[in-house]
Structures are given as structure tokens and as C-alpha cells.
Amino acid sequence: MLRLKPSFFTGTLHHLSFILPSAPRFINPSYVRVSRIRAMSSHIVGYPRIGPKRELKFALESFWDGKTNAEELQKVAKDIRVSMWKQMASAGTKFIPSNTFSYYDQVLDTTAMLGAVPPRYGWVGGEIGFDVYFSMARGNAVVPAMEMTKWFDTNYHFIVPELSPDLKFTYASHKAVVEYKEAKELGIETVPVLVGPVSYLLLSKPAKGVDKSFSPLSLLGKIIPVYKEVLAELKAAGATWVQFDEPTLVLDLESHQLKAFIDVYEQLEETLSGISVILETYFADLPADAYKMVTSLKAVSAIGLDLVRGEKTLELIKNLGFPSDKYLFAGVVDGKNIWANDLEASLETLKTLESIVGKEKLMVSTSCSLMHTAVDLLNETKLDDEIKSWLAFAAQKILEVNALANALAGEKDGEFFSANSAAQESRKSSARVKDEAVQEAASALRGSDHRRATPVTARLEAQQRKLNLPMLPTTTIGSFPQTIDVRRLRREYKTNKITEEEYVEAIKEEIKKVVKIQEELDIDVLVHGEPERNDMVEYFGEQLKGFAFTVNGWVQSYGSRCVKPPIIYGDVSRPNPMTVFWSKAAQSITTRPMKGMLTGPVTILNWSFVRNDQPRFETCYQIALAIKNEVEDLEACGIQVIQIDEAALREGLPLRKSEQAFYLDWAVHSFRIANCGVKDTTQIHTHMCYSNFNDIIHSIIDMDADVITIENSRSNEKLLSVFREGVKYGAGIGPGVYDIHSPRIPTTEEIADRINQVLAVLERNVVWVNPDCGLKTRKYSEVKPALTNMVAAAKLLRTELASAK
């Protein structure tokens, strides 16, 4: 349990109180009967923890702002946990997870459990409280946050553990046990879920200053005693099952890494006596060597395998068999997308598995945690009935799992399955899904690589003659703070409380304010601040054909940050210009270059719920053509700098190396399609954030952008190491000089130091100065001083560099 220091917290949270219904949610009458049957072979890997309408987000932000206290935050959190447990229990789920709720991140929860707190946070022992926990996640006025990066190939971000050889581990957060007991008091038996010890270490990094030869995996012997304490306490509390999430098993691991799994579970075997263990994997199929190792582990009672993203999993089981002494938790219901399961096809897969592993040993499960999908389809009022019939959010996926488990047990609900089959057929035959002209245009793209004719060095010279920028030019990434007034303005326009004319004038005033701020700060290349945009993907999707949108289809990205991914259900095209009006208006009020701001095709794809009835690259090419039209319209109206964000390019990289080259080929091609038609003097920027880019640096170079701005500060300049190792990058580059996901304001000296680190490995004439990411989530009281210091640092170094000539 996270114990708190009450003196830190004041205020009330009454306006955030809510009661979540404990009854299951139904999307058609046939679900009622399914929900009343106890599915003895059903399992859910994990469930969304944000609440049906982002209750956790609002509670966290109210708490961080000092408007509410810790007890009120905990009350909201408990209501969410109780609701989801009751929902799964009412639906008949046998294996219900606990400890999948988190105030910020499950890996950070594990760091707290192990007492692996970096020294800079001043923790002196005892149960870790919110002050230390949130400082690690967000930083504070004195020290920066821990690094944040993408969770495998999802848009979820986790807090990267920082470990050192002399770190002392201690059992410092009893959250897993507290939440298990909490569910048990409700009469609900749960399966406590822990991030597995090997995956935790493989996802960690050496702390700053630690010798590069240090491997976090060498700390296994030190963290096992803490895991043993946790397991002993869970067993004493009555737990009979526990789930270890070991998703790193789907990666291309080396032999010594695979051996670590054997060593760990052998060491835990005695402690696990009396507890059945589910070893859960997801996001891909297991390599054959990992599969053989996992199926041989004596301490493991059940193995969870992904049969959705793991396209080779079924063949793997057929070819290598499955041990008779273990349960198979078959992940046949997609936890990463929102399409309704093809129940008949899944049932056939399950019957095939049943013939191999046996009826009593087969459990029906989700492919991964449902935290990567939206919460409940019944919260949606905007989707039309046809599209709604094609979908299943987390609440509906619970019912799908139980329906399949019941059917496998001989209790097939004919009405439920018939309704599902009708929806599958409706989607295949719907006229709104296919557009022959779009498909033909996308197919024609494969014959060319769509590369700009002039080399980037020559383009940069032409652009500099036109733009006349100083050394170390300053810019921001795109968005400025989305204030309460800005959000209210958009909301009033959508609900027809103000006219279009009133809305346009108000947005223009906000743009004028943002432009004035940047001119006063003396920023070189400006942005309009994006006040008209709700989200960098949703905004574009709303104007593209082939997209649908939800009201409450929120998914957690990190902490309190939630996104509402659009649904790509059909062929994509651009009926009208999307950003030209606002970019043209913004450029008209300044003589400085104004960036046209676009989201790139790969990011729109990867941050949407994508149709699963055609290859992803075909959909991406369609989006690329739509963005290409927008780029050329922006250029035609006088915009000289156009940024095409590809923040999610790395995110879509397949987890297995053998599949990565194909993805990178079509992803990079899609970006080039979007901008290949512009003049040499039009400067194309792109932006990437919060991923490990070093292993794809050559693909980033192949994108052929004129300037790339990229996250760098929170990861302790990890990006710069690739240039120290000799990679040559001739285009403009702006490694982020401060972390915008922390409220902390960096000093001028600190930013100057970061710029100098960049200049140590890159030529001064290609370096840009910018924050890590957009400023949407920050307050003006944080943004203005941070940008003031950033510009001051750039000017300081310009003077020093000029005098050193």
C-alpha cells in the first residue's frame, strides 16, 4: 500500500466522486444469458484502470494541483478497482486479475515494490508514499523524472527503472497484497499480477554514471528475496494463483537471458509451493527456443500465449506439442484492438488447441491486457449502429471470452454467436468500407520510392538562403498549453453554444496570443499553438474519410495522459484541406517562419484502432496520399516550413528482428510519399519522441527529412551515443533540450550544458534548439520561463561560438 503524508495534501474531491455499476455491460440482449453462466475456463490478462470516463485522470490531476487530498484520490482509485472486479465476476470470469490497477505505471509500481528508488529522490526507507512515487514519475522542483519509453509496440509508456550494482532492494510497497485482500473482502477471488523479475530487469537500464559493462540482469539474485517476500505474503493472505507477466519472452533473447528465466523460477519454486503460477506472454509468438524453455519450467502451472499477434503460435503448439502437466491460457480475444471477435473462427482455433492440450487444460483468455483498448462500448453515443455492431471494447471483450469458454464447455449461446456472425458479415459487405479509386491510387505507389530529387545538404542551403535563420535556431514542437478556456471554446462550438463565426474569431485570438508570446521570447521558427485541435491524430481523422470517432473511447498513454484513438474502418481519403486555413491565418500575423503542423501517416496509423481486414501498409499508403495533398496545399499558400510528425514510427516496429525490415521499408516510404512533391526551398521537419531510436537511425536518415526534432533529455542523451559511435547525419537535427512531461523548469545553464553535449557530436550548422515534445499538457506558468531559458541558452552559445572563431 502506498502510505501517505497527509500534510502534503489538502482540498476536496466531491465533484469527482462516482459509482461505477457492478453489473456487466451488454451490447445486445443475448449477452444477458451469457453473463449468467459461470465460465470455469475464462481468464482476463488485465483491465483498463482509467475508469469508464477517465475518472482516474481527473482525480490525479486534481491531486497534483493540490485541490484534493490523498484519501480522496485513493477513494476514486478504489471505486475503479471494485467496479472492474465486480464487472468481471458478474460476467462469470473464473480468473480475475488484481494488482493491474496503477496510479501511474505498473513497471513503476514494481520499482516501488522492490524499493529500487534512485538516490536523487531522497527516499530513506519505509513504505513508499505518493511524494516519492510521483516524483519518480513526473520529477519535482528539484530533480528530473525517470526516463519514460514505449511499452513494446504500444502507445503506452512505462517508467524505465534505473539500476546500479550497489543498489539495495527492499520490500517497500505492499500494493499487490493490499489489493488482493481488498477484492477478497468483496467475496471475489483474484489472481495477483506481478511484472516478472526477468522482464523487469531486461526492461531496466544502468543508472547514470554506471559502467557501460554493467548488466541489470546481474541483479537477479538481489531481487529474488523481495519477490519471495511478496509471494509468501500473498500465500498467507489466501492467494492460490499468481500471474507473472514476462512479455520480454517474445523478443529475440540471447541464451544467457533465456537461462535467467530458468534460474529465477527454479529459485522461486519452493516459495511457490501451494500457489499455481500463470506465466503470461503477449504481443507476439514465442521464439521456438523460448517456447521450449517455458514449457519445461517446473514452477509454472500455466502458460499464457498470444494467438492474435502471435500469428505462429498455433503452429508452434502443433509442431512442438504442449506439456500435459500445464494449462494453456489461450489469448484468442484481441486486447490491442476494438474489433469484435470472430467467435466462430476463434472457437475453431480453441477446438484445435483442445485436441492437443486436452479439454481440462485449456483456458480462454485475452491476447494481452485490455488496458490497450477502450473501456466500454455502451458509453458511446456518437457511433452509428452499423459501426457499433462491428466493435467490442474491454467490457464487451470480457463477454466474448466467457461466451467462447462456455461454448467450449458445450454451452454455446446460439443467439449470441448468430448476432456476432451477422456483424462480421455486415462489415465485410458494407459499401462504406471500400473505395476502389483510393485502393487503385495506393496500389500504384509501390513502383517508386518517392524520394526528393535534390540531396538534403543542397536543400538546406537553398532553405537557409530563403529563411535566413541564425546559428542554433530555436523552435517548439507544435502545441502550446491547452487551457481550460481553449477546451471550453471547442466544447461550446461542438455543442452549438457558439456560432462558427464566434469560434473562428476566438481561435484566431488564441493564435495571436501564442504568436505574440513566441515573438516576445524571440523564438526563430514559430508555431500557431494548435488551439483548434483536440488531439494530434483525432483532429486529422475527423476530416478524413474512412474514420469513425468515439465520445469515451479513451486509452491510457501514460500517467493521467489519455488518448482517444480514431477508428479506421474503411479506405482513407481527404475530401477537403484540413489545416490550411489556420496555418495561413497564423503566417499572416508574423514575418517569422510559421510551421505548418501535420501528423504523419505512420503516426496516424499507429495511434488509431486500425482495420484488420487488409494489411496495415495498404492503409498507411492511403493516409500518406491524403497527407501529401495537404502538404502541397500548405506550400501553395506560402507556408515555407512544414512539420510532419512521426512520433509513433518506432512504436510500430515489430518485436522480432526478422520482421522489422519490411515494416521500416513501407513506413519510411509512407513518410516520403507525403512530402516528395515540394520544392527544395520548402523545409520539411519531422518529430519523434519517447522511444529507443538508436537501432533504427539509418531508417530515420532514409526518411530524408530536412530537420528532425527528437526526444533526448529524459533519456539522458541516449540518442547522442549513436552519433558518438560514428553515424553521420547531414540533415538538421534538434535533440530535445528539456523534458516537457515534468513540471520542473530547467535553468539556462542546464539547457546550455545539454546543447554543448549535442555540439560535441554534431556540426553546429545542423543543430536546432527545442523542447522534447509539444507543450499541450503544460501550464503557461511553466512554459514561459522554460522557453525563456531555452532561448537564452541558445543565444549564449551563439555568442560563445562566434567569439571562438
Rounded to the nearest angstrom, the gap between the alpha carbon of residue 695 and the centroid of all alpha carbons in its chain is 19
Can you tell me the mean pLDDT for 631-643?
A: 98
| Residue 247 per-residue DSSP state | G
| Residue 375 per-residue DSSP state | S
pLDDT digits (tens, 9 = 90+) for 595-625: 999 999 999 999 999 999 999 999 999 999 9
Distance CA 397, CA 376 (A): 9
Band of pLDDT at residue 719, cut at 50, 70 and 90: low
Among 513-527, 628-642, 703-717, the range scoring the smallest mean pLDDT is 703-717
In sequence order, what DSSP letters do the residues of 723-758 get, joined into one string?
HHTT----SEEEE-SS-TTSSPPPPHHHHHHHHHHH
Considering only residues 175 and 209, tell me which one the structure prediction assigns the higher pLDDT.
175
Residue 35's pLDDT is: 42
Which DSSP helix (H) or strand (E) runs through 245?
strand 241-245
Alpha helices in 268-363 (DSSP H): 288-294, 313-320, 343-357
Band of pLDDT at residue 27, cut at 50, 70 and 90: very low
Residue 26's pLDDT is: 37
Can you tell me the mean pLDDT for 315-340?
A: 97
CB atoms within 10 A of CB 319: 10
Can you tell me the mean pLDDT for 327-352?
A: 98
Residue 670's pLDDT is: 96
Residue 714's pLDDT is: 64
* 8 Å CB contact between 733 and 768: yes
Rounded to the nearest angstrom, the gap between the alpha carbon of residue 256 and the centroid of all alpha carbons in its chain is 29
* 8 Å CB contact between 306 and 290: no
Can you tell me the mean pLDDT for 392-396?
A: 98
Question: Is 805's pLDDT higher than 90?
Answer: no
Reduced to 3 states, what is the DSSP secondary structure of residue 555? strand
Residue 13's pLDDT is: 33
Q: Read off the C-alpha cell for 428.
A: 465485410
pLDDT digits (tens, 9 = 90+) for 531-540: 999 889 999 9
* 8 Å CB contact between 769 and 786: no
Question: Is 37's pLDDT higher than 60?
Answer: no
**Share of residues in the chain with pLDDT > 90 (%):** 86
* 8 Å CB contact between 594 and 526: yes
Among 544-553, 658-667, 674-683, 717-726, the range scoring the smallest mean pLDDT is 717-726
CB atoms within 10 A of CB 625: 20
**Radius of gyration of the chain from its Cα atoms, rounded to whole angstroms:** 26
Alpha helices in 238-369 (DSSP H): 255-267, 288-294, 313-320, 343-357
Known binding-site residue numbers: 57, 155, 477-479, 530, 561-562, 607, 645, 687, 689, 698, 702, 711, 773
Q: Read off the C-alpha cell for 576.
A: 477537403
Q: Which residue from 730, 739, 723, 751 is spatially nearest to 783, judged by alpha carbons?
A: 739
Q: Which residue from 803, 805, 798 is spatially nearest to 469, judged by alpha carbons?
A: 798
Distances (CA, A) of 275 to 278, 327, 525, 692: 10, 14, 60, 37
Question: Is 681's pLDDT higher than 90?
Answer: yes
* 8 Å CB contact between 38 and 90: no
Amino acid at 93: T
Question: Is 775's pLDDT higher than 80?
Answer: yes
Based on the residue annotation, tell me whether 741 is a catalytic residue of this protein: yes
Residue 38's pLDDT is: 54
Residue with cell 519510411: 668
Residue 803's pLDDT is: 87
Band of pLDDT at residue 450, cut at 50, 70 and 90: very high
Distance CA 672, CA 686 (A): 11
Can you tell me the mean pLDDT for 570-576?
A: 97
Band of pLDDT at residue 240, cut at 50, 70 and 90: very high
Q: Which residue from 696, 804, 706, 707 is spatially nearest to 756, judged by alpha carbons?
A: 804
Residue 446's pLDDT is: 76
Known binding-site residue numbers for 5-methyltetrahydropteroyltri-L-glutamate: 57, 155, 561-562, 607
- The model's pTM is 0.90
Question: Is 500's pLDDT higher than 60?
Answer: yes
Residue 316's pLDDT is: 97
Question: Is 268's pLDDT higher than 60?
Answer: yes
Ramachandran bin of 97, using left for φ above 0, alpha for ψ from -120 to 50, beta for the remaining angles: beta
Catalytic residue among 43, 372, 669, 741: 741
Q: Read off the C-alpha cell for 621.
A: 499508403
pLDDT digits (tens, 9 = 90+) for 181-202: 999 999 999 999 999 999 999 9
Reduced to 3 states, what is the DSSP secondary structure of residue 780? helix
Band of pLDDT at residue 31, cut at 50, 70 and 90: very low
Can you tell me the mean pLDDT for 551-556?
A: 95
Sign of the CA dihedral running 464, 466, 467, 469: positive
Residue 716's pLDDT is: 59
Q: Read off the C-alpha cell for 756.
A: 554543448
The mean pLDDT of the chain is 92
* 8 Å CB contact between 713 and 754: yes
Long-range contact set of residues 266-272: C-beta below 8 Å, sequence gap at least 24: 266/298, 266/299, 267/224, 268/224, 268/227, 268/228, 268/231, 268/299, 269/298, 269/299, 271/227, 271/228, 271/231, 271/232, 272/231, 272/242, 272/299
pLDDT digits (tens, 9 = 90+) for 113-141: 999 999 999 999 999 999 999 999 999 98
Can you tell me the mean pLDDT for 96-103?
A: 98
Can you tell me the mean pLDDT for 345-370?
A: 97
Residue with cell 492511403: 622
Question: Is 243's pLDDT higher than 70?
Answer: yes
| Residue 662 per-residue DSSP state | H
* 8 Å CB contact between 372 and 335: yes
Which DSSP helix (H) or strand (E) runs through 206?
strand 205-206
Residues with Cβ within 8 Å of residue 716, at least 6 apart in sequence: 147, 208
Residue 675's pLDDT is: 96
Residue 691's pLDDT is: 58
Among 19-28, 500-509, 731-740, 787-796, the range scoring the smallest mean pLDDT is 19-28
Band of pLDDT at residue 36, cut at 50, 70 and 90: very low
